[in-house]
Structures are given as C-alpha cells and as structure tokens.
Structure 1
Amino acid sequence: MNKEEYRQRIIAAADRLYYTRGFSSVGMDQLRDAAGVSLRRLYQLFPSKNDVVMAVLRGRRRMWAEGLDEHVRAAGTPREKLLAVYGFLSDWFCEEDFRGCGFINAFAELGAVNSDVADIAREHKVSFQRYLGELVERIGVDPSLAVQLALLAEGAQTTAAITGQAEAADRAHEAAEVLIDAALERAGSDSRGKNSRACVPSDA
C-alpha cells in the first residue's frame, strides 16, 4: 500500500468516526485502531489532529458537490434541476448513518475555537448558495430566490438530523415549488409589463 492509499484509508476511517461520534471524542489512538495503521504512520501523514479534521471536511465537501451535481444534471428543465436539489437531500436523509450536515456538526463543535473549521464550514455554505444562484439564473428570476431555497435546504438538514424524519426533504421540496413558481410568475408579469409599456403609442 502506497502513501496515498494509506492517506485515504485514514481519512475514510476518520470520517466514519467523526460523523458518528463527534470530533472531540475521537483521539488519534482510536483513529489508528480504526484505520489499521501504526501511530507512527498516522503522524507521518497527518502531523496533527487538525490536519485529519480538515482532510475529512475537504473530502466531504467534494462528495457533497459531486453527489448534488449528479442529481441536478440528471434532471430535465431548469425548474426541475432546482427541485432536484431536494431529491438529493431526500436520498441522503434516508441513509442509515445520516447524522445531519457534517459541516454544521463541525462548526457547532469546533467553530468557536478552530478558525480553519469555521472557515471551511462557511465556504461550504457559501458555495452551495452560489451553486443555487447559478441554477436560479437559468430560469431568469430574481436572484434572491437562491437565498430562500438555500435556507429551505439548510432547515431541512437540521430538522431531519434532530427529529430523524427524512420527510423534511419532501416538505422542503413542496415549499421550494411554491417559491419557484411564484418567482416565475413575478418574472412573467414583469416581462409582460415591460412589453405592454413598450407598445403604448406616444403623443408625438
């Protein structure tokens, strides 16, 4: 097994431990045992626990982005692509080991004392909102819709994690439909209004 294979093995073990038990409660000795590597090897690849934590969060950010994009690309119309975000959440919430958003968990546990964790958690949330902004732009409505849809998604994640109810994604999906259709209706009204004003004859 080469260095990169050991590295990925450790990250995978750390991800499982941190996500199920929390970051603070898992020490390097426990991680060594779970990954099946020597403590010397572990510290060679990750000189500190913070290095492991950040590697785990970067990996989770990549998996989230790839999984979300796969769902969205499989959808048809721009409206369906926006709603596919909540289909992605629904599938995730139904996973047996779902424990909520790893970034919210990390921020809640470590954000106040670890600026690296706080920064990557904020970056993750900002990038998600930016991604929604790109999808919203495709349907030609007010950009503020992206913020509203992001808040729905974030609320669904927290609700599902605390209550254990995967149906939170379905309720968020229903609310998203209302918001999207209302935004499309407003955009259509604005467009019709502009066209009608353009057709009013002048007095000249």
Structure 2
Amino acid sequence: MNAIELKIAAGLERAFAENGFAEPSVEDLRDAAGVSLRTLYKYAPSRDVMVRTALEHRHRRYIAHVFDDLPGDADAAVSAILDRVAGWMRREATHGCLFHAAVAAAPHDPTLRALLQSHKAEVARRAAAVTGQAGRDVDMTLIIEGLTQSWPLYGDAAVVSARRLSLALRQCA
C-alpha cells in the first residue's frame, strides 16, 4: 500500500468509525481521507470499495495491535491479548465492532459478511495458537467477542470476566 492509499484507508476508517456507515457523505469521506474527490475515486471508485478499504485497514491495525510482540508464555499472552483488546475498545471502538456495524448496515452484502468472518476467524486462530489453545478457535472467539460486545455495557468488568473464562478454558484443556 502506497502512502496515498494508506492515507485514504486511514481516513475512511476513521470517518466510518466515528459516524457509522450511513451518515458520511462522499464529501465527508473525501475530507476525512484528505484527498481530492478525483483521487478518492481513483483508489476507491465506489462507496462499497470505500467501506471495504476502511475495514481492511482496520483489520491490519487491529491484528498488529493485538498480536505484535506478545509474551512467549501462554498465560502472559492471554493477559496481554485481553488487555490489548480492552485498550482497543477504550480508544478505537467505544461503540462496538466496526465489522459488525458494517454488516448491520448492509446485512445482505456477502462481501462484508466474508470480511467479518475472515477477520474474526484470524483473530480466533491467532489467539488460540499463541495461548496454547490450538484448535480451540471457537472458544477463543466466544471469549474475545464476548469482551468486545460487552465492552460498551460493562467496560473493565468485561475484561475481568474474560480473564476468568480464559483461565477456566486453560484449566480444562
């Protein structure tokens, strides 16, 4: 991704995260991307492509935030993952998951459903692998998704609960 594509993707992600998928006009998205309308359309020729671009950028940032430089110890890795997810929710996703919001805004769009599924599957697979729970992807999905979906309601109490659940999972393995 070149510098202009990165600038556009970051701006689109920010605009959709702050304003949802229905509200921002193309002019709002252009302003958020910090480029001309012509340049925006050159790299993202439709609103659908703009949404996908934003979600793909979000995915890369989330994966790096949660999984880069984790401790080698499985227990410490679980703790770090949950702390990082909570930090992400606190700073980046106070209204909930952007992928779920995109699918909610366009429930019949198979491309958005595929992006949601791919994102969640990669998060679960990586979390299970680095925490010594390989093959327990569904369990890790429930814990991490439970945290992200509960965050807007319970905040740090959701992290405490996710820690308890991850400990119970490791103990029964």
Shorter-normalised TM-score: what interval? 0.7 to 0.9
State the Cα distance separating 1:124 from its structure 2 match.
0.8
User: Are 1:34 and 2:32 matched, yes or no?
Assistant: yes
* TM-score w.r.t. length of structure 1: 0.74
State the one-letter code of the partner of 2:55: L
Partner of 2:2: 4
The whole-number CA distance in structure 2 between the counterparts of 1:93 and 1:6 is 27
State the one-letter code of the partner of 1:94: R
Partner of 1:193: none
Which ranges in structure 1 are unaligned for 5 or more consecutive residues? 184-204
The whole-number CA distance in structure 1 between the counterparts of 2:26 and 2:154 is 30
Secondary structure in 1 aligned to 2:91?
coil
State the Cα distance separating 1:158 from its structure 2 match.
0.8
Aligned CA-pair RMSD: 2.3
Listed one character per residue, the Cα deviations across residues 78-128 of structure 1 (whole Å, up to 9, x for unaligned) are 232233221211222332763222111112222x23221111111111112
State the Cα distance separating 1:59 from its structure 2 match.
0.9
Aligned counterparts, 1:81-120, within 5 A: 81-95=77-91, 98-110=94-106, 112-120=107-115
- Structure 1 residues 96 and 41: alpha-carbon distance in aligned structure 2, compared to 1, 3 A threshold: closer
Which has the larger Rg? Answer: 1
Secondary structure in 2 aligned to 1:25?
coil
- Structure 1 residues 95 and 167: alpha-carbon distance in aligned structure 2, compared to 1, 3 A threshold: farther
State the one-letter code of the partner of 1:62: R
* Alignment: residue pair count: 173
User: Are 1:172 and 2:162 matched, yes or no?
Assistant: yes
User: Are 1:151 and 2:147 matched, yes or no?
Assistant: no
- Structure 1 residues 96 and 4: alpha-carbon distance in aligned structure 2, compared to 1, 3 A threshold: closer
- Structure 1 residues 67 and 107: alpha-carbon distance in aligned structure 2, compared to 1, 3 A threshold: same
Listed one character per residue, the Cα deviations across residues 176-204 of structure 1 (whole Å, up to 9, x for unaligned) are 11221232xxxxxxxxxxxxxxxxxxxxx
State the one-letter code of the partner of 1:177: L
The whole-number CA distance in structure 2 between the counterparts of 1:123 and 1:97 is 19
State the Cα distance separating 1:172 from its structure 2 match.
0.8
Listed one character per residue, the Cα deviations across residues 47-98 of structure 1 (whole Å, up to 9, x for unaligned) are 111111111111111111111112xx43242232233221211222332763
Partner of 1:79: 75
The whole-number CA distance in structure 1 between the counterparts of 2:27 and 2:118 is 30
State the one-letter code of the partner of 2:20: G
Partner of 2:20: 22
* TM-score w.r.t. length of structure 2: 0.86
Partner of 1:45: 43
Q: Which runs of 4+ in 1 moved over 3 A?
A: none
Aligned counterparts, 1:183-194, within 5 A: 183=173
The whole-number CA distance in structure 1 between the counterparts of 2:16 and 2:38 is 21
The whole-number CA distance in structure 2 between the counterparts of 1:74 and 1:182 is 23
Which ranges in structure 2 are unaligned for 5 or more consecutive residues? none
State the one-letter code of the partner of 2:80: A
Provide the identity percentage. Answer: 25
